[in-house]
Structure 1
């Protein structure tokens, strides 16, 4: 099956919903069903998606605080799907696996919510820490779940804006695993246009090194207002990570016991720069690459989230966005794990 364009109302970046009441859950469910219809998900998969949305929203209303839910399309070269990311700052769970079994309850209810989500979704992952909250991610595809993503990202616009000036992209070209994070100058549509152009140039660009790609992006977005951006290339076989950036994109190589920051040089891609430099860093087995815009405060530590680095990159990104993202700026988090 060829990928189908998403709904005109929900682009690839998705739409965030606040889920604080049953009516909000109904709104998300209807939006998910419209997106599924636009994508051609089919009646059976759409029914599965409706159950996942209903259970996820219901859990948020019953147990969570400040619950938000992201709805967006996902696609591979052969199929399409719908992705949900539920984030809350509720009491959290010490035994998430136990809470996912049917019949388990923390409030005297039947307790089938998380079990039903895991059962109806094509792919599911989650993480929870008592006192910090829970992240639940789920995908419903037209067919079997694709290979787990080695990298995933999230963006969230400044409060009051409809689009985010931050963006990210992931590609594998000529055996290179590469990721981009971009922060368009300012906010709103013009900032979003700069990041969108950087993303387009990255995805269609040559199989260059990170420094070569930053040079390519600098030339490609000179008709926009410009952006801070960085390109990283984790190379598990060589045990190194190659990195080049301009402006205030933060990057770090994280393990359970260490965290090493990555260097971006001053400048604005598309307008002003020094000579682009590429740096190499150790990339040990099990390491995770985390990159984010300045809409995310660099204050989280892996030790505060037992087991998090072993979860899917999307779960790691959502957890960092929840606890370190700020509402007064666009925010973007990208997480990659190459084995």
Structure 2
């Protein structure tokens, strides 16, 4: 959001160092490899696993530097309550791959790299996803858990049904956009590539702090007036302005979202409004996704775009927000409801993405993991003059 007032510098929000973007440059492979080693050491990956991560990052970054158009790489830490993993994504605008299976075959190379190939990266990763279109570009996602029983259990638990991606505006290190998910009951994970479950290891479902870097609330049991099990709340916040103050507002909103006892979107917004009164505030949207009832209940304030997308046809329906600023000018709540067709997706994003994107323009957009879909939308619709963020929820509802 564009700021309407200035303020004193704020402390760096906790956890912001867990996400690092690298732009296309000759120094990209070395810089990304060094950062990957630092993050791997900080989260306690075993030395052998840290070396595998560094090798995979080097291969992907070298491919990006040599072949990509307008390429970028992001490294970040993802967490459960007890475990942490290192994840990277590469995003570029071309040239794309005409034959993805061939590119993943052992020994395949389109030029000089470190030599292990994308197929080896896929084998080293616990989760791997690749979307590529000739002439359009490639998005690659890879996640690496520890080689411990607990790490293998986290990897084997599957993918969360929602994931997002944020990127600070050019010239800034901190991003004022943030997203989060809060479960209201058990939700089946999205199918994804996972390792076999380790023998003798209890495999609890991967919790919703994965990819949010925030501890989740205890799931709420269904009761009178409460959503059914499997429902969840989805938050997107665009902190007012840019830089540390906007990032602080977004961080405070996420923390308040997880502390809130409310389960209706308008009640959650009221809780966040009280918390954000002492800061900048922001544009915030909250969606209650109820797969069992096949509906989405939505309440938003400010310039956050929200859509329900029919992944079979590409048709999308808007979820409108009201004018205002949460924390300063909270209007009377305006809650809307939309049907949730089978296999559909829910997308929330800031005005750092244009809302003119169309799912049919990106073949395969929603046939990949939610985080890959988020990266594709960021590439297709993101702008450099503002913080940009998007969260995608999709599942077999």
Are the equivalent residues in 2 in contact too, given 1:80–1:141 (CA < 8 A)?
yes
Partners of 1:266 and 1:152 in 2: how far apart? 26
Contact 1:12–1:73 under 8 Å retained in 2: no
Matched, 1:218 2:222: no
CA contact (8 A) 1:104 1:110 kept: no
| Aligned position for 1:119 | 123
Structure 1 partner of 2:283: 228
**Partner-residue secondary structure (3-state), 2:16:** coil
- Name the counterpart of 2:173: 162
Structure 1 residue corresponding to 2:352, chosen from 292, 295, 312: 295
Q: Kindly indicate which of the two structures has a greater share of residues assigned to strand.
A: 1
Within the alignment, does 1:182 sit opposite 2:237 as a pair?
Answer: yes
Question: Quick one: distance in 2 between partners of 1:259 and 1:58?
Answer: 37
Alignment partner, residue 246 of structure 2: 191
Q: Using the alignment, how far apart are the partners of 1:147 and 1:294 within structure 2?
A: 31
Aligned counterparts, 1:1-339, within 5 A: 11=16, 14-21=19-26, 23-107=27-111, 112-142=116-146, 143-144=151-152, 145=155, 146-173=157-184, 174=220, 175=229, 176-256=231-311, 257=313, 258-339=315-396
CA RMSD in angstroms, aligned pairs only: 1.9
The answer to whether the 8 Å contact 2:59/2:113 transfers is no
Structure 1 unmatched ranges of 5 or more: 1-7
Q: Deviations over 1:284-308 (max 9, x none)?
A: 1110111100011112211122222
Shift of 1:107: 4.8
Segments of structure 2 that go 5 or more residues without pairing to the other structure are 1-12, 185-219, 221-228
SS where residue 278 of structure 2 aligns? coil
Q: Is residue 298–residue 337 contact of structure 2 (8 Å, CA) maintained in 1?
A: yes
The 2-side partners of 1:9 and 1:134 are apart by 31
Paired residue secondary structure (2:135): coil
The normalised TM-score by structure 2 is 0.80
Answer yes or no: is the 8 Å Cα contact 1:210–1:242 preserved in 2: yes
